[in-house]
Chain A
Amino acid sequence: MKRTVRLRCRGRVHTIEVDGSEAVPRRAAVVPVPGGVWVSLDGHCEFFEVVRGTVPLPPQASDPDVRAPMTGRIIAVRVKPGDEVKPGDVLVTLEAMKMEYRLAAPAGGRVTAVKCAEGDRVDIGMLLVTLEPAPLTP
């Protein structure tokens, strides 16, 4: 029986037709976990989420919010609400696994909120700073 499956991997949605006629190499490892499935084949391992119903738009490249890319501790906050920032300006420094990561503004604009403080433990995906993008034309 033919069916269409939509899978999200690294933010991209892949649509495939499945009719049961194609074999998957037996050595592929398929590991279901809550929320999706890991597939490992020939040294390439990825996480897939099934997309049901309408496909939501992937996050825009210009999404101006800055989120924690990993779990760690905030060791410096460089901005406060109202500050004007240019793309690439460092907003927050995060320490994880003994390394420092400087989180930069994805676009220029004005800082509207700072949701973290020095010393905070933050979880992956947590909102840290919100920006109001600069107008497109001066």
Chain B
Amino acid sequence: MTKILVANRGEIACRILRTLRDMGHASVAVASEADLDSPHLDDADEVVEIGPPDPRQSYLSINAILTAAAKTGATAIHPGYGFLSTNAEFAAACERAGRTFIGPSSTAMAALGDKRGARATAERCGVPVLPGARETDSPDAAQAAADRVGYPVLLKAAGGGGGRGLRRVDDAASLPEAFEAARREAEAAFGDRRMFVEKFLHPARHVEIQILGDGKSAVALGERECSLQRRYQKVIEESPSIAVSPELRSDLSKAAVKLAVAAGYANAGTVEFLLGPDGSWHFLEVNARLQVEHPLTELRFGIDLVRAQVEIALGGPLPSPAEPRGHAIEARLNAEDPGRGFLPMTGRVAALRWPQRPDLRIDAGIRQGQEILPFYDSLLAKLIAWGPDRDSARRRLAGGLRDLVLAGVPTNQKYLLDTLESGFFREGETFTTTLESRSWTPPEPSRAMLLAAAGATGAPAARGSAGSPWQNGGAWRLGS
């Protein structure tokens, strides 16, 4: 038995802690002052408070995390995704402190997890990359690179991830401001100011290969397509991609494994590619960590990727994956209002009822009564449906989203549902620019919704058990 600290919060901390419990390991959760009542703490054996709500002083503080590990005697650390997960300095600090970092070594991370380093490694391995420039740390250098490859370009933070520190630039005039904004965002989120430039390819699909490595060899576990994005945040993901033929899958998998082996990569990682309109494919980056959308692969391959990560980190062998089956689709439920420019929303979860379906998985990090705070990512939960084919998975996920009740905080629930039901999604017209090129406005409330609201607020006779958030929940009938 190993004692393992999970250096994260929200749904991913819950998900990791549950696998640790199933494996028989002892677990430690960490919490900022804002998270002292958050659900992930209830999945752990022990809890350590690590500092103020500002992530820079808690979840992003190497010192705070290592102090918590020392205090509890945790000998291994799982970083989840985001926060310190792709920080090579953190991986190195764990190594120096004699704690097992559940992820690649700091050297492999520097070679692949760093976006600029990964580009260099890909070029050396003969894996195609997008036209661009690797080191553009000043607006002038970025401008020169952009002039060379031609607009539009994408400004990218070398240490970035999760869509932060990225800006599309369409002309030279708007580059300096975009550069500063991207760099500020990257510094706030990752504490890293280094930038680079790549040609912006469109219409393109975002396809990524899941890999597991042990430092000497690696296996590929198929692809996930994550083209449907907004502001570089993935919205709906699926596996397999309808755009990937068996030949292309084999090419992408070989390239991903080659990169992993070249970098001596151990543990779970994801190699991202862009598919161009002309059938070309280009290496994008390596996510040297568990991905948000990893459940798609788990459902199709019948594997627990967190378990595999822990086993590899503790010296176990690489799993030999089974043949994948069926189709899986994931939708990310965010605290944001699509009716108001997708602004993140805060508030109290006043009511919560999760849908249940065969082969519908819900990875959530919230509970009823919880306050959604402005300090962290707006991801509340992921709904992932499996089906024997794409349309069955799609219908199952749509059914789940239709049943879900989450009141008290605006979410993108209806937007996700309408997207899954749209003609473009059904036909697989999913490109990285698709969602942002289509406007969506919330529908007017139906007469049934208005009647329900009128009944609850205007009829004193119907106000039954006052004080319960569910006084009419699911059983409201007008005039009764």
Binding site for B on A (CB under 8 A): 3, 5, 7, 9-10, 12, 14, 16, 18, 20-33, 36-48, 50, 69-72, 75, 93, 95-102, 124
Contact = CB atoms under 8 A, between A and B. Distances in A.
A75 B151 CA distance: 28
Contacts of A37: 453, 456-457
Interface stretch (B103-111, B180-188, B205-213, B385-393): B180-188
A41 B457 CA distance: 17
A1 to B, nearest CB: 9
**A37, A96, A97: which has the most chain B beta carbons within 10 Å?**
A97
Nearest to A69: B343
Contacts of A71: 346, 374
B176 interface: no
B344 A96 contact: yes
Interface stretch (B37-45, B295-303, B467-475): B467-475
Nearest to A25: B448
B346 A33 contact: no
A101 B208 CA distance: 29
18 contacts: A16-B454, A18-B478, A22-B478, A26-B475, A31-B470, A32-B456, A32-B471, A40-B406, A40-B407, A42-B402, A43-B401, A43-B417, A44-B414, A47-B410, A48-B457, A69-B340, A95-B188, A96-B374
Contacts of A43: 401-404, 413-414, 417
B411 interface: yes
Contact of A100 (B181, B377, B458): B181
A27 to B, nearest CB: 6
Nearest to A28: B452
Given A43-B401, A70-B374, 15 more contacts: A5-B458, A7-B454, A10-B339, A12-B444, A18-B451, A24-B478, A31-B407, A31-B408, A31-B473, A39-B452, A70-B344, A93-B181, A96-B343, A98-B376, A100-B185
Contact of A29 (B339, B402, B474): B474
A42 to B, nearest CB: 5
Given A18-B455, A30-B455, A33-B408, A41 B446 contact: yes
B231 interface: yes
Interface string B424-458: 00000000000000000011111111111111111
A79 to B, nearest CB: 15
Contacts of A31: 350-351, 407-408, 469-470, 472-473
A20 B477 CA distance: 9
> Nearest 7 CB-CB pairs, A to B?
A20-B479, A38-B407, A48-B453, A5-B454, A30-B472, A97-B344, A43-B402
Nearest to B470: A31
A63 B448 CA distance: 32
A3 B476 CA distance: 19
Contacts of A39: 407, 445, 449, 452-453, 456
Nearest to A27: B474
B120 interface: no
B164 interface: yes
Contacts, number: 180
Interface of B: 55, 164, 181, 184-185, 188-189, 231, 339-341, 343-346, 348, 350-351, 353, 374-378, 401-408, 410-411, 413-414, 417, 442-458, 469-479
Contacts of B55: 98
Given A22-B478, A43-B401, A70-B344, A16 B377 contact: no
B445 A46 contact: yes
Contacts of A28: 448-449, 452, 474, 476
**B411, B417, B446, B471: which has the most chain A beta carbons within 10 Å?**
B446
Given A5-B458, A96-B374, A45 B405 contact: yes
**B164, B189, B442, B449: which has the most chain A beta carbons within 10 Å?**
B449
Contacts of A41: 446, 448-449, 452
Given A30-B473, A32-B457, A38-B350, A24 B164 contact: no
Contacts of B469: 31-33
Contacts of A5: 450, 454, 457-458
Given A24-B476, A48-B453, A75 B351 contact: no
B458 to A, nearest CB: 5
A40 B476 CA distance: 12
Contacts of B452: 24, 28, 30, 39, 41
Contacts of B446: 41, 44
A37 B377 CA distance: 26
Contacts of B353: 29
A98 B457 contact: no
